[in-house]
Chain A
Amino acid sequence: MISLAGRDIMNAWGKFVFTGLGLGLLIGVTLSMAGIYRGMVDDGKALLDNSGADLWVVQKDTLGPYAEASSVYDDTWRGIHAMPGVARVANVTYLTMQVRQGDRDVRSMVTGVMAGEPGTPGWPPYLVAGRQITRGHYEAVADIATGFNLGDRLQIRRNHYTVVGLTRRMVSSGGDPIVFIPLKDAQETQFLKDNDAILQQRRRTTANPNFNRPQIPGLLEAVIALQSSNAYVNAVLVQVATGHDAEEVAQSIRRWKRLTVYTRSQMEEILIGKLIATSAKQIAMFLVILSIVSAAIVAFIIYTLTLGKIREIAVLKLIGTRNRTIAGLIMQQSIALGIIGFVVGKITATLLMAPIFPKYVLLEPLDSVIGFVAVVVICILASIFAIRAALKVDPAEAIGS
């Protein structure tokens, strides 16, 4: 039994392969778009994973610390540490800002981590180079996406930090790479204004007769000192002791400490359902449109390919070929085209497209499988139109005009 489809492809294999390549690029873009969507969601989850927390304790009635601003006193953790079911607690601060290094600056999320040892909540869970922070001040661990190298001197506000370690996939929900610095420096960073602003603030305070009272020497200095200190952090990260239910511990902190507490699933809901909801929907919509367009293009290609062979099909009919054979010919060609397209698409999406995107592109194997099934189904559906056209051909056309 000779494969009619194979023979036909052999007949014009160059054209066939190039059509497949073109289709592949289109499928590649669609797969990349799915990857971008997955990447966005994964960025949000990576942020939660990397913080190493089971519970996030934030300012009452806020969606902090990622989706909204939140500040709690930096000694709140002591009270929370004493709650039953709490294994470890750590203060943490987050501030998205431009971090300067030499002439360039990189948009990154500066995270302040509490002094301690590796494994403390909030610390980078793994490194790709260098070491973890050991000094209580002026050291940084940066995500490699920042482009910083070990030993680089970073400038955050007016202080300089030495990069001692590099890590990977530590990003904010917006995809900005994270720079970890010691908490005390980070608290200062959040609060510290530039020197001009500080001078102006001092001048303003000095000009206020309520604070600048000659009868009370030292009052002005005390007020100014008070204005330039920051005893707040953005959240307290809590790890729940084994054998305790996170929701129960959260409930007791909510009840007795009168703070808002989020569990992992609630935090995911906030990040994915609220923070990146619109942009994720935007990308998802793009994905849907692109899939429809790809499907339409596949259908058109198969259809035109078939119409291009209408004369040969008429000859086949004339020599008495069964309809099933002709249908098989078209469908097999269509599926072969789809497979070539998918293979090329997967390769280009992984090797060419994903690395050049500035944000993380996550190509999930399951997505690829779904993509493959979708491509095959679309090809089969598209070939049905072509088959209908082919079967309606009048055998007389083979000899006519």
Chain B
Amino acid sequence: MKYGLLLHIARSLMLARFKQTMVAAVGVTFSITMFIALLGFMNGLNQMLDGLVLNRTPHIRFYNEIKPNPDQPIDQSDKYKNYTNTIRSIKPTSSRLRIYNSSAIIQTLEEDPRVLGVAPKVSTQVFFNVGSSDISGTISGIDVPAENDLFALSDYVTVGTPMDLTQTNNSIILGKGAADRMLADIGDVIQATTSRGDQVQLKVVGYYQSGLGELDNIQSYASLQTVQKILGEPPSYITDIQVKLRELDLAPSMARDYAALFKINADDIQTVNAQFETGTEIRNLISYAVGITLLIVSGFGIYNILNMMIYEKMDTIAILKAIGFSGRDVNIIFINIALIIGLAGGTLGLCLGYLAGLGIDQLPFETEALPTIKTFPVDFNPRYYLIGGIFSLVTTYFAGYFPAKKASGVDPVDIIRGK
């Protein structure tokens, strides 16, 4: 009852200065709209850019690396192991790229509940023969369905589909850059030389375009069997095992554990793409900073308008106090005005922000580099709406707090006597 009265007075004060109140509310609306649109847009772009790399990067990659043994014989001899030994010109042992016992490893990984999926791969270097010149490239032999599920391969195959690889023998999906250089059309047969010197003929069934030009010049895909055949290796020959996890954050510890268990190398995504995470974080930080600045600026607008309102309404405040309203009541009235402005302006801002997001989402955005993107990406994460809503109330509360405090401190005698 009593609070209702204060609310009623707040409402009347606002209606009496409707235009001013509107200006304050529009300020909040504008800043919340911009906040939502900006964050949605920025994060949409962010996720797209992250996706460019992260979608295609396995969370953990197992492989054998050709490198010198860190445990040299001299370090094992009883006599010299406590010395500082300098050995020059160490060469790697004749280790192989092949992962031993790969099928057992894959089975173990697939049984791990933390693992979303496993995709084996064979990578090999080749030279594509174009007339008298050779173009170097990499052919990845992939388990097509697994690769497609885990790494969204079909998003990046602009012509043809990845499944064509399984249906046509000795087929290849060429990187767009390489294909342009070779003038290879779909259905053409191209010739490649393997690292062992064998010549093979492959039929082009599609183009691959990742958006990273350098990659598109080199990377091509073929089925696992095709590459094993090119290399003259048996079907157990696997050089990479790619793993996608349910929880990205588990990658470093799992990589460590399994590397020790299988005695092979394991790279986790965090280590490989550390600079990427940093970039994402900084872009996020910038968009939040800009958004919050907008809100604070609108907070000053509210502060100004409430301050002016209080100067205009000195008589009203004095009379309210004279007829028995306490300083606290007056304070509540003005805080209420601020919060109503914040709530109304903020709610409208959230709606307009959503509409702005939908609008941006419709804008065409076509670029060679990003074959799957047709319009600007927008992230409609409800978190931004929550943050925007809460922040609009918090800023308006603080914008109202100081004027309200001043109003509650008004001495009615000064006003009544002063006339």
The answer to whether A and B come from one shared complex is no
A contact residues vs B (CB 8 Å cutoff)? none
